[in-house]
Amino acid sequence: MGQQAHRTARRRRLGAALRHLRETAGVTTAAAAEAIHGDGSKISRIETGRHRVTRLELDALMGLYEVHESRTREWLIALASEERNRSWWRQPGEPLSATFKEMLALESSAASIGTFQAQVVPGLLQTRAYATALINGSDPLPRDAVEFYVDLRMERQAIFRREVPPSYLCILTEGVLHQHVGGPATMAEQLRHMVDASRQSTVTVLVIPYTQTAFAAPGCSFIIFSHPAPLNLDVVAVEALDGTRCLEDDEAVAKYHRALGRLRTSALTAEQSVELIASIARNFEHE
């Protein structure tokens, strides 16, 4: 059957681009299949993002489609390079869904991340105690499963310790800061942690206060992962009760970029946000 694969955002974008290039060049699926020593069904799976493309196959297709422009070649190669990077979270028997693995891959490679959260502190800013209380409060899980997910959440935060960390913008509603997750001591520690994180030059935390009576709430929490050239790929992860959906259609991504921009104008400044977070932390400390 060949190398079946989950249709990641990169693979979907690569497949669509290769189909466009093939059709523009007037090449049939049979001719394309012959160039990579496959069959028509393999080309179909590649073009729908359901089959991994090796570098040799990509070189053959780019030659057949007469793709000579250097920027286009670099972009296609960058999209196809995903499979050469073994994911740090992969381990035997790990219980992660394909969609969540895709989100982790996007998070690991993004140059900038922007998120809006209306209910909880995002995972990249959570303390261990807060994450444990949050996971324990969701669907009942065995202790080892809780520990697995908490450890994973803590490991994800290593992106901020890289030599070149991603820029990170987090916009929260004030209600997130008051929600009792794990009790006053856990909340005080969590909010102090956010204040400390905000001191990093690449991390910005903004709060939409209760006093902001009118702001464009998008109705859900979401994350925008942005990847620079040559990849030039932006993907939005939209959170829902039944899982996370990843969107990469240009029009959909632009809509969420605009939403994040409107939310930013509704929020306090970074300095005011940190002051508010610290103030609420002090209140928890005195409970």
pLDDT in tens, 172-216: 999 999 999 999 999 999 999 999 999 999 999 999 999 987 777
Residues 75 and 115 in one domain: no
2: in domain: no
- What mean pLDDT is predicted for residues 243-254? 85
Residues 154 and 269 in one domain: yes
**Looking at residue 6, what is its pLDDT?**
54
State yes or no: pLDDT of 90 exceeds 70: no
CA separation, residue 31 to residues 28, 61, 241 (Å): 5, 10, 45
Residue 24, Ramachandran bin (φ over 0: left; ψ between -120 and 50: alpha; else beta): alpha
3: in domain: no
Mean of pLDDT over the chain: 88
Residues 218 and 250 in one domain: yes
Residues 211 and 121 in one domain: yes
254: in domain: yes
Higher pLDDT: 240 or 72? It is: 72
DSSP H/E element including 41: helix 40-47
- What mean pLDDT is predicted for residues 60-73? 91
State yes or no: pLDDT of 1 exceeds 70: no
**Looking at residue 93, what is its pLDDT?**
57
Question: Is the N-terminal amide bond of 230 cis, ω within 30° of 0?
Answer: yes
SS3 of residue 221 by DSSP? coil
Q: Examine the fold and report which residue of 54, 84, 114 is the final residue of a domain before the chain moves on.
A: 84
CA separation, residue 242 to residues 97, 99, 148, 157 (Å): 12, 11, 20, 24
Contact (Cβ atoms closer than 8 angstroms) between residue 209 and residue 178: no
Token pair recorded at residue 62: 């780019």
Q: Alpha-carbon distance 155 to 158, whole Å?
A: 6
Q: How confident is the model over 2-35, as pLDDT tens digits?
A: 444 556 778 888 888 898 999 999 999 999 999 9
Model confidence at 48, in pLDDT bands (50, 70, 90)?
confident
Q: Alpha-carbon distance 25 to 34, whole Å?
A: 16
221: in domain: yes
Higher pLDDT: 163 or 4? It is: 163
Q: How confident is the model over 100-132, as pLDDT tens digits?
A: 888 888 898 899 999 999 999 999 999 999 999
Number of domains in the chain: 2
- Predicted structure pTM score: 0.81
Model confidence at 66, in pLDDT bands (50, 70, 90)?
very high
Residues 71 and 175 in one domain: no
Residues 177 and 252 in one domain: yes
Residues 257 and 171 in one domain: yes
Which residues are CB-neighbours of 198 under 8 A, at least 6 positions away? 204, 205, 270, 273, 274, 277
SS3 of residue 9 by DSSP? helix
Q: Examine the fold and report which residue of 53, 84, 115 is the final residue of a domain before the chain moves on.
A: 84
Q: Residue 100: CA atoms inside 13 Å, Cβ hemisphere, count?
A: 14
Residues 171 and 58 in one domain: no
Residues 191 and 260 in one domain: yes
Name the residue with tokens 């209910």: 119
**Looking at residue 95, what is its pLDDT?**
74
**Looking at residue 215, what is its pLDDT?**
72
Q: Which domain holds residue 240?
A: 98-285
128: in domain: yes
CATH code at position 212: 3.30.870
90: in domain: no
Residues 78 and 208 in one domain: no
Residues 211 and 234 in one domain: yes
SS3 of residue 104 by DSSP? helix
273: in domain: yes
Model confidence at 158, in pLDDT bands (50, 70, 90)?
very high
**Looking at residue 4, what is its pLDDT?**
45
CATH code at position 26: 1.10.260.40
Q: Examine the fold and report which residue of 51, 84, 117 is the final residue of a domain before the chain moves on.
A: 84
- What mean pLDDT is predicted for residues 158-169? 95
93: in domain: no
State yes or no: pLDDT of 94 exceeds 70: no
Residues 79 and 213 in one domain: no
**Looking at residue 3, what is its pLDDT?**
45
State yes or no: pLDDT of 85 exceeds 50: no
